[in-house]
């Protein structure tokens, strides 16, 4: 447990990769290149009041900065937008500072196709940091967050595959229309 000068329990920067608050070129991760929203999430053990998120982007020759992304916080069993950035340029680090918000988790959200210029269907991160302090003693309900994410993913996946499924079923049932009909 870490305490600040006032004796409050606080957390140190959380890392998506190696636990060190500096980006490490050997540790990064990218998502599948699909035309679906991409996201990375940090679930806190207890509610945390945060006011800053720092994203260190991966590097594949150039920095793999998403062209736009949003910071969302999990509060009252829903994701709520905390900050957003549009038209990001290729940089190593993107910093988001906002009014303190109490959340059980944070998520970096990237809409489909808004990844780096070279691979727009991917999100490519090296490190993810948050700053703030823990508030309250109750554990965060990880299972509810997990179930929400699973349902959301299934809905996004189903929606993205609907045109393909429709064509396949039409072929199976002989209801395919020729072009121009």
114: domain CATH number is 2.60.120.260
Residue 54 lies in a domain: yes
pLDDT digits (tens, 9 = 90+) for 111-145: 989 988 888 888 888 888 888 999 988 899 989 99
Q: Where is pLDDT greater, at 109 or 163?
A: 109
Residue 81 lies in a domain: yes
pLDDT digits (tens, 9 = 90+) for 38-75: 888 888 999 999 999 999 888 766 778 899 999 999 99
Q: Are 56 and 127 in contact (CB under 8 A)?
A: yes
Predicted local confidence at residue 34, as pLDDT? 67
What total number of domains does the chain contain? 1
Residue 8 lies in a domain: yes
Query: Would you place residue 21 in the very low, low, confident or very high pLDDT band (cuts 50, 70, 90)?
Result: low
Please say if the pLDDT value at position 180 is more than 60.
no
Residue 155 lies in a domain: no
Predicted local confidence at residue 163, as pLDDT? 76
Dihedral over Cα of 174, 36, 17, 137: its sign: negative
Residue 164 lies in a domain: no
Residue 48 lies in a domain: yes
Domain with 29, as residue range(s), is 2-140
Residue 101 lies in a domain: yes
Residue 157 lies in a domain: no
Predicted local confidence at residue 15, as pLDDT? 40
Predicted local confidence at residue 7, as pLDDT? 53
């Amino acid at each position: 447990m870490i305490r600040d000068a006032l004796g409050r329990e606080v957390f140190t920067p959380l890392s998506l990769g190696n636990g060190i608050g500096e980006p490490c070129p050997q540790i990064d991760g990218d998502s599948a290149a699909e035309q679906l929203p991409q996201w990375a999430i940090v679930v806190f053990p207890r509610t945390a009041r945060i006011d800053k998120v720092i994203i260190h982007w991966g590097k594949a020759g150039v920095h793999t900065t998403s062209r736009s992304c949003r910071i969302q916080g999990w509060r009252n069993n829903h994701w709520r937008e905390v900050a957003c950035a549009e038209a990001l340029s290729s940089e190593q680090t993107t910093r988001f500072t906002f009014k303190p918000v109490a959340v059980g988790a944070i998520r970096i959200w990237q809409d489909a196709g808004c990844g780096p210029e070279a691979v727009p269907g991917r999100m490519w991160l090296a490190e993810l940091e948050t700053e703030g302090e823990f508030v309250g003693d109750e554990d965060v309900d990880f299972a509810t967050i997990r179930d929400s994410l699973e349902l959301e993913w299934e809905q996004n996946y189903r929606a993205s595959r609907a045109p393909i499924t429709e064509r396949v079923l039409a072929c199976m049932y002989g209801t395919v229309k020729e072009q121009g009909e």
